[in-house]
Chain A
Amino acid sequence: GAGVSQSPSNKVTEKGKDVELRCDPISGHTALYWYRQRLGQGLEFLIYFQGNSAPDKSGLPSDRFSAERTGESVSTLTIQRTQQEDSAVYLCASSLGSGGTDTQYFGPGTRLTVL
């Protein structure tokens, strides 16, 4: 079946502009994660959605970052007033969310470049 998809695959923007990144999780997966991966570094947790529960936003680096999820489907990550240090690959992952620690399936990521 279809895996996690993300769009756009690449985004180049100017400093100060807002950007919106999209994630389509695997159908039936109730858990959804966003991570940031700076060049040559590991994955930095941003936010986690589980079903209808309040999201875990503890990883968002500033109030310029926000994310929404529509039910148990699409999620969007919004970065307002982008800064050059926001340049990174933004990865989305989904999992069954059935309890325990389910396998996360990652999308290919969106490469964001802030000029």
Chain B
Amino acid sequence: GENVEQHPSTLSVQEGDSAVIKCTYSDSASNYFPWYKQELGKGPQLIIDIRSNVGEKKDQRIAVTLNKTAKHFSLHITETQPEDSAVYFCAAALYNFNKFYFGSGTKLNVKP
């Protein structure tokens, strides 16, 4: 089955700096890669996703890049704000098959 690894497990940045979280996956058939943000006491919430037919997707301060050859994808948050502090999860799935494999999470702390 698919194996998703996520790094780093914790990340601390100063407000205004950028944050980058990286994930690798093992199954080359995976072609859908969502990112979730989980705030304390809440369920994860989708923030951005990418399919394997594109290499990059951007939504305001958030971007995701995908390297299919190397089987890794990354989340980039620019101009970080304290409200970005949360746990972020990456996931990999096979499109049309609704089984998701999640990374172990990255706890992002944005210091004001």
Contact = CB atoms under 8 A, between A and B. Distances in A.
Interface of A: 4, 31, 33, 35, 40-45, 48, 50, 56, 58, 91, 93, 95, 97, 99-104, 106-109
19 contacts: A33-B98, A35-B102, A42-B103, A45-B99, A45-B100, A45-B101, A48-B98, A50-B98, A95-B98, A99-B96, A101-B32, A101-B93, A101-B95, A101-B97, A101-B98, A104-B46, A106-B44, A108-B42, A108-B43
B96 A43 contact: no
Given A48-B98, A50-B98, 13 more contacts: A31-B98, A41-B104, A45-B99, A45-B101, A58-B99, A91-B44, A93-B43, A101-B34, A103-B34, A103-B46, A103-B49, A106-B44, A106-B45
Contacts of A44: 102
Interface in B59-98: 89, 91, 93, 95-98
Interface of B: 4, 6, 32, 34, 36, 41-46, 49, 89, 91, 93, 95-105
B46 A101 contact: no
B86 to A, nearest CB: 13
Contacts of A102: 98
B99 A43 contact: no
A42 B43 contact: no
Contacts of B4: 42
Most chain A CB within 10 A, of B36, B42, B49, B99, is at: B99
A42 B98 contact: no
Q: Which 9 A-B pairs have the closest CB atoms?
A: A106-B43, A43-B102, A42-B104, A42-B102, A101-B32, A101-B95, A106-B44, A103-B46, A42-B105
A93 B41 CA distance: 15
Nearest to B6: A42
Given A93-B43, A103-B46, A108-B42, A56 B89 contact: no
A44 B103 CA distance: 9
